[in-house]
Structure 1
């Protein structure tokens, strides 16, 4: 290994380059990061190139790997022991004999307006909710495809890595989609539901019903939005959990977390359950402030929410 490669894999130096703040907070954060990284690496929870990715100067590479570290840390802190099998999704939790696979993705801000991402406080910004939602739908679809496979390549189900009785959770970290250069966590879309709900249940913006004669508002609800237009004129579906083809996906673990969660900063997490799941996961299992669950009413599903295991943390 060359001297340059050795320096690139010097973990404390890499952390220092990415987090150079010399104040007390900076030192505390660097210590927490190095501890979390080493715990993750020593436990074998990452791929063989995990250390290289944690030392990478490329944001997309670094944040994908950091998301795995942070979510593994959250699982451990809530007594959910995870392992990283040699093949298959990122993490595997055995909960009372049920195997729960967790595949983690951190969407990149592709086609997100620069005005939204640019640093600076006190600036009025348009909320690019459709562009953000497209990143969530793409991330969920990609990780569902890895499980289900296609005509050309079998997925984790087809090749037997994920068993027929196993649960499969897609964990999406929206950290790279934040506004103001990552200052403000934002898990919710234009509907005020999480993007993960909009992407899986076709929930659109709020609408107000106006009486034609009195011109008074007589009610309000959410629009149905089962397709999202893309810039090229095509559209993508936003009703994954209403489609039996995706019954093998048990839930979405939607989070917007960064390194400060290691210092105890409360950051938003939600679990969205698939009502058609072949192998559902129990509520209250994954760390989250809120969980969303749809109940089959015969001719429709009724979407509701309940407190997650971190509800008290949210209210503190």
Structure 2
């Protein structure tokens, strides 16, 4: 028998309560959308899903959204417990997806991303935001992925994708150039422009090299500054990672097609590459190694028929 997604049980998460209690408007539309996804996802949900949705709404919603997008794209999904959130078989290749929703971090820590104050103009703390991405990638890859391999839940011949949804990080309603997911994957930093001194016209552009981001240790530990490496696709320590996926979708801010805002970034050095023809809707970042660098080309996608 089907269980309701939203209940009147105590819920600590404000988003859950607001969507559950809405009678009209965007929040009510969000509730209907969530309940529609639940029709597809319920039989794949773990035993703690409904309970944790009430306290950790965005993370569990992202897991449901990702799984439902795969189902509606025609894939037969498997959701092992324990193991990665969802897996599919694509043209003979097993692909696992692990969803993660990085938040703003802990106040007082050097990678904490504080929300902008109303009425004030704030600089976007882009490097701290990229650090939040890197922290989530490290947690999922170095701890969980390694543990699943060791215990045999997944195989070294399987492709593995970490799927980030950073909508809980302040300022994440807009991306940068280059996208932050690329700034985590590669040693690439902010864009620069070259101007003609005489005319002031832009005559060229490029991107700064950034191999690390400086991070001050919490005062409780020390005042030392450490360099956090970027470029997880280039360090050869993450070759078990086939791709990164990024989406900023949340339950209320619906972005057209279910997977229409997905950013899919394949790892050119993966031990098990993502199949070259695998796509979501959204943007696929095709990469070609050129000398000691990389050319990354965004491609708008349509699913193959």
Larger helix share, 1 or 2: 1
Deviation at 1:250, TM superposition (A): 0.3
Measure, in 2, the Cα distance between the counterparts of 1:85 and 1:19. 28
Q: Is the 8 Å Cα contact of residues 164 and 245 (structure 2) preserved in structure 1?
A: yes
Write the deviation string for residues 255-303 of structure 1: whole angstroms up to 9, x where unpaired.
Answer: 1111146684776320011000111113453424211132123433322
2:61 corresponds to 1:90: no
With the length of structure 2 as denominator, give the TM-score of the two structures. Answer: 0.80
1:261-300 alignment runs, 5 A limit: 264=256, 268-283=261-276, 285-300=278-293
| Separation (CA, whole Å) in 2 of partners of 1:15 and 1:299 | 48
* Residue of structure 2 equivalent to 1:168: 160
1:123, distance to aligned residue in structure 2 (A): 5.3
| Partner SS for 1:177 | coil
Displacement after TM superposition at 1:50 (Å) = 0.5
Q: 1:32 to 1:148 in 2, by over 3 A?
A: closer
Query: Equivalents in 2 of 1:38, 1:54: separation in Å?
Result: 16
Kindly report which structure 2 residues correspond to 1:34-73, keeping only aligned pairs within 5 A, or say none: 34-41=35-42, 43-44=43-44, 46-56=45-55, 61-73=56-68
| 2:74 is aligned with 1:79 | yes
In the other structure, the counterpart of 1:225 is 210
Q: Take 1:147 and 1:26, find their aligned partners in 2: how far apart are those partners?
A: 34
3-state secondary structure, aligned to 1:8: coil
Residues 141-171 of structure 1 deviation map (CA, whole Å, 9 limit, x = unaligned): 111113553xxxxx22233222121000000
Tell me, in whole angstroms, the C-alpha distance in 1 between the residues paired with 2:240 and 2:200: 47
Query: Does structure 1 residue 130 correspond to structure 2 residue 93?
Result: no
CA distance in 2, matches of 1:50, 1:203: 37
- How does 1:303-314 map onto structure 2 within 5 Å? 303-309=296-302
Q: Is the 8 A contact 2:19 2:31 kept in 1?
A: no
**Offset, 1:228:** 0.9
> Any runs of at least 4 consecutive aligned residues in structure 1 with deviations exceeding 6 A, and if so which?
210-217
Q: What CA distance in whole angstroms lies between the structure 2 residues aligned with 1:246 and 1:64? A: 24
Q: Deviations over 1:9-41 (max 9, x none)?
A: 79xxx9554453432444333222223234322
Aligned to 2:183, the other structure's residue is in SS state: helix
Residue 114 in structure 1 maps to residue 107 in structure 2: no
Are the equivalent residues in 1 in contact too, given 2:113–2:170 (CA < 8 A)? no
Alpha-carbon distance in 2 for matches of 1:216, 1:27 = 49
Identify the range of structure 1 (207-216 vs 140-149) with the bigger mean alpha-carbon deviation.
207-216
**Structure 1 segments unaligned to the other structure (5+ residues):** 1-5, 150-154, 311-316
Q: After alignment, is 105-114 or 61-70 more displaced?
A: 105-114
8 Å Cα contact 1:33-1:262 kept in structure 2: no
**Take 2:255 and 2:204, find their aligned partners in 1: how far apart are those partners?**
44
Shift of 1:185: 2.5
Task: Tell me how many residue pairs correspond in the alignment.
Answer: 281
Contact 1:15 1:30 in 2 (8 A): no
1:238 is the counterpart of 2:234: no
